Amino acid sequence: MGYLESYKHKFLFGARFTISLLIIVTMWILFWPQARHEEHTRHKITKGASLQEVSHGLLDKGIISNERTFLMAVHLLGHEKNIQAGVFQFRNISNHYTLIDQLVNGTPERKRIMIPEGLNMSQIAKVFVEKLGFSEEQFSALTMNKIFINSLGIKGESLEGYLFPDTYLFFEGDSPESVIKTMVKQYQSIWTSEFNDRLASMNMSEKEILTLASIIEGEVIYNSERPIISGVYHNRLRMGMKLQADPTIQYIILDGPRRLLNKDLKIRSPYNTYLNNGLPPGPINSPGKESIRAALYPNEHDYLFFVAKGDGKHTFTTNEKDHLKAKKVFQKIRRELKRKKNI
């Protein structure tokens, strides 16, 4: 064997040895055993956390046994920026490879969050503070940020009324921006071409209909009454009468919802429909689809007044005299209920 052939043989042997060693080390790193591989372990990855912060958290929780080899495994697989945020339920994480696969390709847990009809922005913010740990200030600031609002295709001073009430599935780790975008998109999805055609025929804007729908939402419990109450408000608007809608007063008092007092009706605010003609400047809560439909399709009748009956429904009247009679009946019911409560 000549010198060159001997050198070539040694070089190939060395290369093969190096490659074999690299493969062994790589496999050793990727398949480093985990101490809790048979357990089902729940762990939260915070949105925006660095890879170092992720590894610290996994080590503190006892999910990984060696932080250095975990970081090396992540780099070897090229997943430095692919780890998801959210709450994970790890299963059968016998080594780094299976753990990283779940962090990158697994599905974080989702929370079912119900936003009922009739909540205003402040109340909705409190739901997400409780359920997803949001900052109330950050959430509220976004709903008032004109640049953000415009980016969503909404023309308005705030997102009041546009955060559609529904049951949502959100990941822990979802941002306030993504949550708000989802809710606004859900609102936009209910506006069919039929609704837009109806708007044009009514000579009203989408914002005006949404504002009226929010008042209807604040007044009504039973779906059957929504178009009737809508008809009352449409009649008043057409005749130039003040709407005198109690939900608009509840919107401006600081300690509501509660029974309204005469002094509340005198509060100076553009939302006070006892003092100002027409609709308030914008929605007062997030109405559901039934209230929006009712605002678009009011019942045709001559009613101008309505008052609660005490059972969630209303008495409708065409004149003030009959309205006052109905109010007295309700006041009598209220006094009787109060008396029974105090017995």
**Burial call 139-163: b when 16+ CB within 10 Å, e when fewer:** bbebbeeeebbeebebebebbbbbb
d(CA 323, CA 337): 21
pLDDT(20) > 60: no
d(CA 56, CA 67): 7
Residue 14 covered by a domain: no
The reply to whether 95 and 145 lie within a common domain is no
Better-scored residue on pLDDT, 333 or 279: 279
The reply to whether 37 and 82 lie within a common domain is yes
| pTM, rounded to two decimals | 0.78
Angle of helix 136-143 relative to helix 121-132, nearest 10 degrees, comes to 140
DSSP-derived 3-state class of residue 44:
strand
Q: Which domain holds residue 144?
A: 110-190
The reply to whether 134 and 169 lie within a common domain is yes
Residue 278 covered by a domain: yes
Residue 5 covered by a domain: no
To the nearest whole number, what is the mean pLDDT of the chain? 88
- Number of helices (H) and strands (E) in the chain: give both, helices first: 14, 6
Q: Find the CATH number of the domain harbouring 61.
A: 3.30.1490.480
Q: Of 81, 105, 129, which residue is a domain's last?
A: 105
Place of tokens 């080390």: 25
Structurally, the chain folds into a number of domains equal to: 3
pLDDT in tens, 216-268: 999 999 999 999 999 999 999 999 999 999 999 999 999 888 889 999 999 99
- State mean pLDDT over 115-143: 95
Q: Of 52, 82, 105, which residue is a domain's last?
A: 105
The reply to whether 296 and 211 lie within a common domain is yes
Q: Of 105, 124, 152, which residue is a domain's last?
A: 105
Residue 12 covered by a domain: no
The reply to whether 217 and 175 lie within a common domain is no
Residue 1 covered by a domain: no
The reply to whether 224 and 186 lie within a common domain is no
Beta bridge partners of 331: none
The reply to whether 159 and 211 lie within a common domain is no
- H-helix or E-strand spanning residue 34: none
User: What is the maximum span of the chain, computed from C-alpha positions, in angstroms?
Assistant: 121
DSSP labels for 82-141? TPPPEEEEE----BHHHHHHHHHHS--BEEEEE--TT--HHHHHHHHHHHH---HHHHHH
In this predicted structure, what is the pLDDT of residue 26? 64
Q: Find the CATH number of the domain harbouring 122.
A: 3.30.1490
pLDDT(7) > 50: no
Residue 8 covered by a domain: no
The reply to whether 133 and 99 lie within a common domain is no
Residue 311 covered by a domain: no
Residue 256 covered by a domain: yes
The reply to whether 142 and 218 lie within a common domain is no
The reply to whether 93 and 125 lie within a common domain is no
The reply to whether 84 and 166 lie within a common domain is no
